[in-house]
Structure 1
């Protein structure tokens, strides 16, 4: 047990550490989650770029508006007759922007078609993309367009339109294979066998060069035997083209025929559902979104707010209106809030530390509190927080936010004595870094609560 003198010395040291970290480029708010009472603040009303801590705002509004059990639906529909295993007309794939839709989901959708007895589609495959009329922007990230974190949401986004290159060197020659097999993509490979060069192949790109442009993909280099079975993802095509080609490949693998891609067109009003697939519940989608700070998934959730609650102003404007209405219902002051896409992949988005703290407090008291808190990563254990602030243990749950010149943390300290605290720390400027914002949170928690 610490002596009184030791405790006083610790408090003085913590106060000094906190003061040293809280300069004019940092905003901080710490309060009681149950009551919203402020315990510590610094520049708490300054509008700050929150980076990916903005995902907490979108998650809050989604749980409040859609409900934790909300699921996105994908379906295959047609108004054509079915006879002898042949669908005698066009097939529509209707997408709702399922953030978790992947190849397994596509297979499940196609299995439903097969179970109905359909083996051939005499008409074309048409994509109904009406659910998302327009996608919210992410201005300033155009140079990152080929990066997975910058992939825009889409009604028919399959696995974030990521394909995998699998490399083999097993004595039958060095080679690569693409999964899923995309019929429109030409894979050119010039790989040689580098033999037994070392035993480490942590990143196959040390030995091969991968490049893509449009539907052309090429790999070249000398592949060591140690890289047999190595894989690397590549981002290919537009979302509709990737979806159509993935559909064709998986349908052919099931022995299906026809359904040649015929473009995009809304399904006719009388089209009946032939097969359907439901996403995981929203609560589970948000765990994946926030643990791994997935921009694409967060942006899809944001747009879904506008699709489910249309107000006639357009999808993006309706999404913002729905989000702001949710905050207003819970008494969150949104005057500093500036939205672009709801994911924090933005140079324009802003929110104050106090407003974000109010939201965290409101979430703690909300009917969906358990689902919201479960979506926030635990220190030293989960996702983007796996290697940060581990000394505090999993009782500290924080969403990270990182951009150039931005570092942020927001979430909860679930104290052993049962007193939950809401914590927000945001740094904007050239000095912003994960280490610096971690130190600010550590010092703030030590000042208002016993150290772990």
Structure 2
């Protein structure tokens, strides 16, 4: 024992200078700032794509883990709240499938405000009430009119009164988001939304007049004239043909209430047939629905003595004469997600904001954006709670809903929230309908050009200025399915889409 202690004292004496150096180094380390955290480890293909685009890791969130739960394969910035662009539609469509059910339909109802005679004449107004059906495109409106004719209505000898009270949305400015009011995605919600508040100009080489283009408009809008004398350009490539068209939209001189859509440019023959969808701004008030109904009714052979006018709710106890039902929600959700339709997503989001009405005669009150935001947020948070901790990655500011479409500068979420929501939906009865609604990589929808993992990943994509995103479920080589989320918030985000494709590809090749 004595020898051992003597040995330790000797050792202590010999090491004292070294310990002193260590001590000094320790004090210096304590006073120096902590070293930066190590750079995140990313698969080489992802890292190379980000570096090629000049995107720092601080601008990126990525998350990959088994959809049934288990070890996380990749996590980078998963808790950072970022703009997700159209990936936010997953919250709207997923919550709708869960709460409304895949068989839910919107109803557009019609009532007669007077006696309908045997000659088809209605002695009074026609009343029309919408619930926000996003699918009332021109073909369905025309079919609805034909069914009215078949039911005996021919001549409306009063006004046509529109009840939009199902939505109590604030006045919409189509130029507010990107100062492009004629872009179709800038249409606002409407309880009586027809043809997405859009008109489509169709251009094609005219067989009858080989030197000219034939231009048509769909749907017809009452009081809107098309002035389009467009010669063909045999030499120009198709390119950005719209820039050469010289489009103008002008109101007729007062006191007229009509409008003129004019095209004055040259159309490249190389373009063949092309469509040009335009949002109808209808300034100083939104009148697309009124003009379209008037034109469609007259095209169906109907007569209208009065005008199509916005009004208030129907008088109490007014019986319904005709009901038009939308396709089921599962079909509508497919259109929203496959083609990232912002207008339809906003309609669905507001529908979720309809609360029970205080008036027992009406099952639902008017929808508001505040109510829709609260309903979706609360449902997502409750659905993503961890049973062991009672917490959700979507709680607090990790999920911020605005209009439910992602076409917003305030709507945002963390990758952890998106991933957990996808995991919750996978385990829910909504899973088959939601999965079928998502674009299939390399096959259809907005993911058709994503060559990585062709046919192996159902993905919702998103794109805004400074935002590129993807989220969905991918099938690995091992047979396991994974939640995959990737988002880039950076001025050069769109130049780094190859990094998101590399993420999906790496997820699939899990062996």
User: What is the TM-score when the length of structure 2 is the normalising length?
Assistant: 0.77
Q: Given the alignment of the two structures, is residue 267 of structure 1 paired with residue 314 of structure 2, yes or no? A: yes
In the alignment, is the contact (CA less than 8 A) between 1:426 and 1:437 conserved in 2?
no
Q: Is the 8 A contact 1:137 1:340 kept in 2?
A: no
Q: How does 1:160-309 map to 2 (within 5 A)?
A: 160-167=196-203, 169-171=206-208, 174=212, 176-189=215-228, 191=229, 193-194=231-232, 197=234, 205=242, 208-214=245-251, 215-222=259-266, 231-238=275-282, 241-258=287-304, 260-307=307-354
What are the ranges of 5 or more consecutive residues in structure 1 without an aligned counterpart? 1-12
Deviates more, 1:367-376 or 1:105-114: 105-114
**TM-score of the aligned structures, taking structure 1 as reference length:** 0.87
Structure 2 distance, partners of 1:65, 1:17, is 40
CA distance in 2, matches of 1:19, 1:192: 49
Q: Are the aligned partners of 1:39 and 1:448 in contact in 2 as well (CA < 8 Å)?
A: no
> Using the alignment, how far apart are the partners of 2:331 and 2:157 within structure 1?
38
Q: CA RMSD in A?
A: 3.0
Q: Secondary structure at the match of 1:144?
A: coil
Unpaired segments ≥5 residues, structure 2:
1-40, 51-55, 252-258, 358-363, 386-391
State the Cα deviation string for residues 396-428 of structure 1 (Å, max 9, x = none). 121111111111110011235431100111111
Determine if contact 1:201/1:230 at 8 Å carries over to the other structure. Answer: no
Could you tell me how far apart the structure 1 residues matched to 2:469 and 2:365 are?
Answer: 34
User: Aligned partners of 2:223 and 2:320: how far apart in 1?
Assistant: 28
Task: Choose the corresponding residue for 2:177, options 118, 141, 145.
Answer: 141
Which residue number in structure 2 is paired with residue 15 of structure 1? 43
Stretch moving more, 70-79 or 121-130: 70-79
Worse-superposed segment, 123-132 or 172-181: 172-181
SS of 1:209's partner is coil
* 2:129 and 2:162 in contact (8 A); partners too: yes
Look at both structures and tell me which one has the larger radius of gyration over its CA atoms. Answer: 2
Kept in 1, the 8 Å contact 2:230–2:267? The answer is: yes
Q: Alignment partner of 1:394: what SS?
A: coil
Structure 1 segment 51-70 matched on structure 2, within 5 A: 51-70=85-104
Counterpart of 1:4?
none
- Answering whether residue 460 of structure 2 is matched by residue 399 of structure 1, we say yes
Deviation of 1:134 (Å): 0.8
CA displacement at 1:26 relative to structure 2:
0.4
Higher RCO (CA 8 Å, separation ≥ 6 residues): 1
Cα deviation, residue 127, structure 1: 1.0
Give the 3 Å change call, closer, same or farther, for CA 136–217 of structure 1 in structure 2.
closer
User: Which secondary structure does the structure 2 equivalent of 1:346 belong to?
Assistant: coil
